[in-house]
Amino acid sequence: MSYVLQVLTYDQAFPNRVAAVIRSDDPDAAFRACVAALEGGIGTVEVTMTVPACLDIVHGLVASTGGTFPVGVGTVWEAETVTLARQAGAAFVVTPAVVPEVAEACLHEDMLCVLGALTPTEVHQARMAGASIVKIFPVQAMGGPDYVRWLQAPMPGLPLWVSGGVEIEHIEEYLSLGVVAVGLTTAVFPPDAVRRGDTGMITELARRAAAATGALWR
């Protein structure tokens, strides 16, 4: 059963503008970590295709929450994955780079498409390819918020997702720049905590991240 019937708006896909991105080689640990993050107030989670049984995890998360929390599939390189993600109940897909065929597949499947980019040229290419949102990755390596400001000067109004090295203390500044979403990886999912199943720590980090947006879910 699919819970996603149409392309989501930005507010629907990222209700508190923070997305927790899980990367793990243990699918059971990844699932538990995602649940813990949602319980802590994270509004959106992304499961990357590098996680074993990624699509099963997505389906499980969507089913267990009744589709009330947006779940995305990340590290998507192939158009065929978009259809599989849609069937699993994913609300959006994310690529690490500009992959036009993924954007085309998202249009066909009525899915929100996030294409990865870094340079101004790549950002422009991503938008021309049909990206709903452009993910600036790895943003911290390029100067963090200052780099976003540089991009916004000649390209105002760009719907951006920032990810890559972002910490909880950076959330407020990024949101003040008007980004659509802030992606958090190890800031919410420390590898050691995920590995040992420390869901309490993950929930607390998620709570801090959600509180930083001023929209803590209860």
Give the E-state strand segments of the chain in sequence order: 18-22, 44-48, 71-74, 92-94, 112-117, 133-136, 160-162, 181-184
100-118 pLDDT, tens digit each: 999 999 999 999 999 999 9
What gap in Å lies between CA 104 and CA 91, rounded to an integer? 16
Percentage of the chain modeled with pLDDT above 70:
95
How are beta strands 133-136 and 18-22 bridged, if at all?
unpaired
> What's residue 7's pLDDT?
74
69-95 pLDDT, tens digit each: 999 999 999 999 999 999 999 999 999
pTM above 0.75, yes or no: yes
109-144 pLDDT, tens digit each: 999 999 999 999 999 999 999 999 999 999 999 999
The answer to whether residue 6 scores a pLDDT higher than 80 is no
**Cβ atoms of 188 and 42 closer than 8 Å:** yes
Determine the average pLDDT of the residues in 1-20: 77
The answer to whether residue 216 scores a pLDDT higher than 50 is no
Determine the average pLDDT of the residues in 7-34: 94
Q: Which of the residue ranges 6-20, 141-155, 199-213 would you say has the lowest mean pLDDT?
A: 6-20
Which CATH architecture group holds 10-212? Alpha-Beta Barrel (3.20)
Which residues partner with 93 through β-bridges? Answer: 73, 113
> What's residue 218's pLDDT?
38
- Dihedral over alpha carbons 191, 197, 203, 208 (to 10 degrees): -30
pLDDT averaged over every residue in the chain: 94
> What's residue 215's pLDDT?
53
